[in-house]
Structure 1
């Protein structure tokens, strides 16, 4: 078809296609923004919304208090362990000193040192008692840390049971919410697709065709790109069922369209040659001839041999003779390329011999 267009007309058409794509791009941006904001019409719910509020609050408070108690017990345990280490070191050092002193006393056998022996023994007993007290403090803090940890585990387990009990209701509500949001998107995009189909059928070749095609591109993108990724899965059943339904609908439409097309072709091929050429669009006929295709039946024809004047499939006249110079030319040409004489209209072809003779 482009071979039959004027040079300026080609550039105008390219510019109009650019307008169509720009129009579609801006519409797509607006549509994407709207579709992306649609989930905001629904309140986002969490798992905690389906749990016992009072029990959950009490458990979370218990967890908080037990975690704090565990932290305090751990800090106190570290201090107690440090004190225990100090007491053990002091006791060990005093024991070594006492052993050395006791060995010296045995060597000298001095009775006046008995009081000092008793005093040193009492000091060692005090150090041993301090060590035992430090060890008891460590054990108490270990017990406190263990109690806090077990209380935290019990609260966490109880909270987990509450979450498990609420999870199914939460998932059901989430699926229902996703379905509602998908319904909003479908209610927005499906009418656009319907309008796009109507525009394609009625106005795709009208004066405003760039805007029509731009809207069609936008509607297709909104439906198949903006909508389909949000299609609920439910294990894949919904997607496959929707795919089957769309395939059946599209297939039936394609089959019916093909049958209607073949029926129109049969009716057109049954008409007289002059009537068929008169009803064919000029630009469409030129485009098909450029592709070695019959403009009437759309079957391949060898047009380069210079001898084929009629379609061997439907009998449509493809080449004739100029009434002025008898040059072989395309039967769809409006003027003779050899002498420039206007071609005889298809409806008046039967008058051509009389005009020529005159």
Structure 2
């Protein structure tokens, strides 16, 4: 867990050229700020509802008396990620377009941000005008284990120059850089920023350079997906009730977009009581791969009360630039192996 003040968050967002705006990602929720200190272990994600703990027969206690929760099954995790769209270039039938970017490898790209998929589409259409291509949307839950994880377990035995298709999930480059900056920004850097009151071009350049050269994680541009959360935030699903309390279901939101998280935090704080207006956000950062591994083990964290928030456009201009995307309801694996194109 990293304690970072809101000034640091805003610095990260502004240095990555994000446009701050209110957004609606289609998730039916209303903000609920939890203003309390963050205990260790399961307290970070658990809503600390004693009735829930007593009513759930599956919840046990470890040697230290801390409640633990059973592992989530693969099916549960697939359903947990099912509402997250990922985008890829396909032909009009939905068959995937496989690229050959380097070393004669065959690569199929999924993008979290439709803008990046549209940019790839534009490049391919410019050099392959005869092909009728489009951007299609797939479910992250349907591809995560069957494509991304399956290849991860066997990639050591696969020659990069073979005909085996490599599947790559690409995060938004701004969020990837934001994750690197969070990992490399020291408390001293944060204090300097707070003292200066504003960001200078020199500060931004130095922070970006440090992130690019010193980050211990998120060094790859694909398959290492950052997930952000602020421990004090909760969302309430107004259309779903807690089975035990009858109250709206309270969940911890996790974000693929740093900008979306910062905008939501600012909205939370604008509606918060005066006594918690100065609450500093406790930021947590983890890769999607590490998160899924934790979910498959007995844990002090109640992952069944966590929700992944789909990436939303950061501005009206970005929403318009996303263009038309075709949802693909069929199993994406059945449509892989379409045309193969080079990057030239």
Instruction: Report the TM range for the smaller structure's normalisation.
Output: under 0.3
Q: Quick one: higher RCO (CA 8 Å, sep 6+), 1 or 2?
A: 2
Higher CA-based Rg: 1
State the TM-score, normalized to the length of structure 2: 0.16
Q: Which has the higher helix share?
A: 1
TM-score between the two structures when normalised by the length of structure 1: 0.15
